[in-house]
Amino acid sequence: GGIMTMTSPVRRDLVDAPLLVAARGQAPARTPVWFMRQAGRSLPEYRALREGTPMLQACFTPEMVAEVTLQPVRRHGVDAAILFSDIVVPLAAAGIDLDIVPGTGPVVAQPVRDLAGVGALPELDPARLRPVADAIGILLGELGPTPLIGFAGAPFTLASYLIEGGPSRNHERTKAMMMSAPDVWHALLGRIADYTLAFLNVQIAAGVDAVQLFDSWAGALSEKDYREFVFPHSRKVLDGLAQAGVPRIHFGVGTAELLPAMREAGADVVGVDWRLPLDVAVRRLERAAPDAPKPVVQGNLDPAVLFAGWGVVEREVRRIVREGKAAAGHVFNLGHGVLPETDPTVLTRVVELVHSIP
C-alpha cells in the first residue's frame, strides 16, 4: 500500500557536489559545509513563516517544509540542504500521541514502560508520510546542484523519548529498562528501527541524496552497553539502506568512545562533536579498523564558539579544517545543532571562510 507514496525519484546527477565527493572519501573542489539545525529559530525568515503554525503541523505541510529547508541554502550558501522535519515525525505518522513543545522538545502522552506498551505501538503505514515525500519532490525541483540530506532519529534516541515521555538529562528510565528488562527493550528497539527505516525509505524513494542517522543521546552509554543494546538495531537500519547507494552519516553527541562502533554499524561518514579533535577521531577509527578504507568524518565546531567573536571563530574554523585533512574526506559542520540565539551573519561568514581555505 505504501508504494503509492513512492513516485519515481528525480535522482539528480550530483556526482561532483562537494558533499558527495567528500562522503566517498575523494577530494572535492572545496570543503563542503552545512550546519545541523541550519533551518530554524536562528533565522528571522523562519520565525516569520512559522508564526502561528505548530511544529508538527509544519512538518506535514509540504510547501512549508520546502520553504524552511531552502531558507538557509539561500542565505548561507551551504553545500547541503537538510530536510525540515523532526525525529518524532514517523512516530506521529504512526498515530502515537505526542507533541513538540516549544522550548522543551517532544512530549509523549503515554510513555512506553512494558511489553504491553510495546505491543500497543501502532504499525506505520508509509502512505501517512506522503507529505514528506511531496516536500522532497518540491525541493528537488528547486535545489539545483545542492544535495538534499534526509534524516531520521536512531532507535536509542527515539526510545529515550518514548520511555521517558520527554527530554531527559540522565535517561534513567531508559537505562533501567535496558538493563532490567532486555526482552522488552529489544522488542521496543526492533519496532522503532522499523519506524526509522520506513521514514528513511520514504525519503530515499522520494529522492534525497544522502541521509543522516541522529543518535543524539547515544553518548550517554558505555561502549559495552552500546554494543549490546543499541548497535544491532542501528545496524539493522543502516544495513537496510546499503542498497540505496546514498551516503549514510551517523551522528551523536559525546560519542568519543563510541565512534568505532558507530562506524561499524554501517556509516559512510562519522559525525564527531567538539570534544574530540578530528585528527584524533580519525586515528581512533583507523586503529579500530586497520583494514577498512580511510575514514570520512563530519564536524566539529562547538556551536557556542559562534558567540565568542569573529577572531575566535576564525581561529577555530581554520584549526578544524586543518585537523580534518587527516581524514579521507571532511564535511565541515558544527559539533551539534545551531543554537537559537546564534547570529546568522556569523554562520554565513563561516561558510565563506571554509570555502576560502585551500
CB contact at 8 A, 65 and 84 = yes
d(CA 218, CA 75): 32
Active site residue 161: yes
Binding ligand CP3 by CB under 6 A: which of 1, 52, 103, 144? 103
Contact 265, 236 (CB under 8 A): no
Check binding of 55 to ligand CP3 (CB under 6 A).
yes
| Amino acid of residue 18 | P
Which of 60, 156, 195, 214 touches ligand CP3 (CB under 6 A)?
214
Q: Judged by CB under 6 A, does residue 249 bind ligand CP3?
A: no
Residue 194 annotated in ligand binding: no
What 3-state class would DSSP assign to 101?
strand
Q: Kindly tell me which residue out of 65, 66, 87, 261 binds ligand CP3, with binding defined by CB under 6 A.
A: 87
The CA dihedral of 290, 216, 218, 350, to the nearest 10 degrees, is 40
Shorter beta-carbon distance to ligand CP3: residue 134 or 326: 134
Take residue 75 and report the three cell numbers written for it.
Answer: 542565505
Tell me if 38 contacts ligand CP3 by CB under 6 A: yes
CB distance 69 to 132 below 8 Å: no
By the rule CB under 6 A, 332 interacts with ligand CP3: no
| 82 in contact with ligand CP3 (CB under 6 A) | yes
Q: Across the strands, what pairs with 192?
A: none
Q: What is the largest CA-CA distance in the chain?
A: 57
Q: Which is nearer to ligand CP3, 26 or 104 (CB)?
A: 104
Torsion of CA 75, 79, 83, 85, to 10 degrees: -70
Q: Is 37 a catalytic residue?
A: yes
Residue 216 found at the interface with ligand CP3 (CB under 6 A): yes
Q: Is 161 annotated as a binding residue?
A: yes
Do residues 65 and 85 lie in contact, with contact meaning Cβ atoms separated by under 8 Å? Answer: yes
User: Would you say 128 is a known binding-site residue?
Assistant: no
Q: Is 50 a catalytic residue?
A: yes
| Count of residues in contact with ligand CP3, rule CB under 6 A | 23
Find where cell 500521541 sits. Answer: 97
Tell me: does residue 147 bind ligand CP3 (CB under 6 A). no
Stretch that binds ligand CP3, among 21-29, 83-91, 219-227, 312-320 (CB under 6 A): 83-91
The nearer residue to ligand CP3, 160 or 201, going by C-beta atoms, is: 160
Task: Write out the three cell numbers for 299.
Answer: 564536524
User: Which residues fall within 8 angstroms of residue 291, CB to CB, at 6 or more apart?
Assistant: none
Rounded Cα distance, 103 and 111, in Å? 20
Residue 30 counted as an annotated binding residue: no
Among 14, 17, 33, 39, binds ligand CP3 (CB under 6 A): 39
Contact 101, 168 (CB under 8 A): no
Q: Is 21 or 108 the residue whose CB approaches ligand CP3 more closely?
A: 108
Q: Which of 46, 161, 195, 226 is catalytic?
A: 161
Report the nearest approach of ligand CP3 to the CB of residue 106 (Å): 5
Residue of closest CB approach to ligand CP3 = 216
| Spatial separation of the C-alpha atoms in residues 296 and 270, rounded to whole Å | 6
Helix, strand, or coil (residue 79): coil
Query: Which residue numbers are catalytic?
Result: 37, 41, 50, 86, 161
Binding residues: 37-41, 86, 161, 216, 336
Binding interface with ligand CP3 (CB under 6 A): 36-41, 50, 55, 82, 84, 86-87, 100, 102-106, 151, 167, 214, 216, 337
Binding residues for substrate: 37-41, 86, 161, 216, 336
